[in-house]
Amino acid sequence: MSKKENPQDDKLRPHVYDGIQEYDNRLPNWWLWTFYGAVILTVMYWFSWYNADVMETDAAIVEAQMAKVEEVRLAAMGEISNDTLWQMSRNAGFVSAGSEIFKDKCVACHGADLKGGIGVNLVDDEWKWGNQPISLYSIVVNGSPDKKAGMQAWINELGAQKVSQVVAYVLSYHTEQEMADAPTLNPPLEL
């Protein structure tokens, strides 16, 4: 009679090499599911990293940290000058903070697009009280010299840090050369 095969018996491969035979067993299910899960997670990770913009790249993280360092460095400078204000206007952190303050305090008079309304236009090529950043800073700090139709002083309400952020935001719409070439209607103001 022929011998019946027990399904529980291990199956040997027919291949023999140097007298060694291998079993022909299936891989365990836990191993297969772990492998399939790893493949799926790899595809999801690849998609989210390179295509979905879900995660922040290393370059963006470093850039954000460098902007914070620059912001702290500029804040520690203390002395406000034309060069300092131009540096602040190139710093995304200062400009972003200035934008929020501008939206809260300045939009009512100068408009959301900075083109004026009750207040003067801040993006044209003409300046009322000087074409230097320090003149703009002085007006925000001390108010307009034209007390009948001018802007109030904001230093008491905002403080020097927030005033410099607002000025940086306004300057971010201009270049140094453009502002230097712009005509001024009145003598420039100094601090």
Tell me the CATH number at 111: 1.10.760.10
82-93: average pLDDT? 88
pLDDT (0 to 100) of residue 172: 92
For residue 8, is pLDDT > 70? no
pLDDT value at residue 1: 46
Burial class of residue 58 in the structure, from the number of CB atoms within 10 Å of its CB (0-12 exposed, 13-18 middle, 19+ buried): exposed
Co-location of 164 and 71 in the same domain: yes
Give the Cα separation of 9 and 72 in Å (integer).
73
Do residues 150 and 82 share a domain?
Answer: yes
Based on the fold, state whether residues 25 and 79 are members of the same structural domain. Answer: no
In a domain, 142, yes or no: yes
More confident residue, 13 or 111: 111
Which letter does DSSP use for residue 50 in this model? H
Residue 42 lies in a domain: yes
The pLDDT tens digits for 164-180 are 899 999 999 988 888 88
- Closest by Cα among 102, 101, 72 to 87: 72
The residues that bridge with 9 in the sheet, in sequence order, are none
Question: What gap in Å lies between CA 132 and CA 170, rounded to an integer?
Answer: 12
Q: Is the pLDDT of residue 14 over 50?
A: yes
pLDDT in tens, 110-132: 899 988 888 888 888 888 888 88
- Name the pLDDT band for 186 (thresholds 50, 70, 90): confident
Domains contained in the chain, number:
2
The pair of three-digit structure tokens given for residue 111, joined into one six-digit string: 């408009």
Cα distances (angstroms) measured from residue 187 to each of 57, 119, 131, 142: 48, 19, 9, 16
Contact 131, 188 (CB under 8 A): yes
| CA distance linking residue 184 with residue 131, whole number of Å | 6
119 and 70: one domain? yes
Question: Are both 122 and 162 inside the same structural domain?
Answer: yes
Domain span including residue 128? 58-181
pLDDT at position 183 is 80
pLDDT at 32: 96
Q: How far is CA 110 from CA 88, 113, 150, 151, in A?
A: 21, 8, 12, 10
The C-alpha atoms of residue 136 and residue 2 are separated, in whole angstroms, by 104
- The pTM assigned to this predicted structure is 0.60
Is 99 domain-assigned? yes
In terms of domains, do 85 and 170 share one?
A: yes
pLDDT surpasses 80 at 84: yes
Residues 66 and 149 in one domain: yes
In this structure, is residue 191 part of a structural domain? no
Q: Is the predicted pLDDT of residue 29 greater than 90, yes or no?
A: yes
The pLDDT mean for the chain works out to: 83
57: phi then psi, degrees, rounded to nearest 5: -75, 165
On whether both 62 and 46 belong to a single domain, the answer is no
Q: Are residues 46 and 91 in the same domain?
A: no
Q: Does the residue 5 lie in any domain?
A: no
16 found inside a domain:
yes
- Residue 67 reports pLDDT greater than 70: yes
Query: What is each CA distance from 133 to 26, 85, 105, 121, in whole angstroms?
Result: 76, 6, 19, 15
Q: Are residues 125 and 81 in the same domain?
A: yes
Angle at 168 between CA 149 and CA 159, to 5 degrees: 70
